[in-house]
Structure 1
Amino acid sequence: MKLIEGTKFQQKVWKYLKTIPKGQVKTYKQVAIAIKRPKSARAVANACGKNPYAPKIPCHRVIRSDGGLGGYSGKGGIKTKLRLLRSEKVDI
């Protein structure tokens, strides 16, 4: 895989995102805990927002703790996030 442009933190987040199975979602907080940065949920959200590789790196599988979708940096924004999640049979 060619080198991904981004900070060390962003790369850590993006690498983890690729382990989230199709059809499943995690919260920004769950991702923060998984990468051993439990207080970094907001930074995880920012890293998702800066993901230039969507949907190949599936930031659309990360949602807010309150069940809200959060944002989506990919083309088409939140509508695309919703469509991607529905196409993966996520109950949203």
Structure 2
Amino acid sequence: MSINNRHKVSDFASRVYELTSKVPKGKVTTYGRLAALLDLKKGAQAVGQALHCNPFAPTVPCHRVVRSDGDIGGFAFGTDSKKKLLKSEGVEIINNKIDLSIYCVK
């Protein structure tokens, strides 16, 4: 996927969006895992901020990125919307948590 930069996103955000766009339906990844793939130590928060400003949703499926403990985390459109999107893709959420051993992209 090529990010059309008419939205003038930073190079960092563009890289985050490119990786996030590869997470398939029915799976999730974590902010920390994306940061690690970008060679950023302790970069999970920066990844989260880039995704919060994602102008390409739903093409870049930021709802598929969760916290490292499986908690669904935040979402610019609200956590209820995030839960609804994930559930519609077959991801089971129990007490706001996702079982990463089942749903996390390997």
Query: 1:14, 1:38 → 2: CA distance?
Result: 18
Aligned to 1:47: 50
Aligned to 2:5: 3
TM-score of the pair, normalised by structure 2: 0.77
1:66: Cα distance to partner?
A: 1.7
Query: 2:52, 2:59 → 1: CA distance?
Result: 14
1:36: Cα distance to partner?
A: 2.1
Query: 1:11, 1:4 → 2: CA distance?
Result: 12
| Contact 1:4–1:11, Cα closer than 8 Å, also in 2 | no
Q: Structure 2 residue aligned with 1:64, among 64, 67, 74?
A: 67
Query: 1:89, 1:38 → 2: CA distance?
Result: 31
Q: Structure 1 residue aligned with 2:16, among 13, 16, 21?
A: 13
1:4: Cα distance to partner?
A: 4.9
Query: 1:79, 1:4 → 2: CA distance?
Result: 30
Aligned to 2:79: 78
Alignment RMSD: 1.4
For structure 1, the 5+ residue unaligned runs are none
For structure 2, the 5+ residue unaligned runs are 94-106
Question: How many residues are aligned here?
Answer: 90
| Contact 1:52–1:73, Cα closer than 8 Å, also in 2 | no
Give, as a single letter, the amino acid of the residue that structure 1 aligns with 2:81: T
Identity of aligned residues (%): 41
Task: Say which one has the larger Rg.
Answer: 2
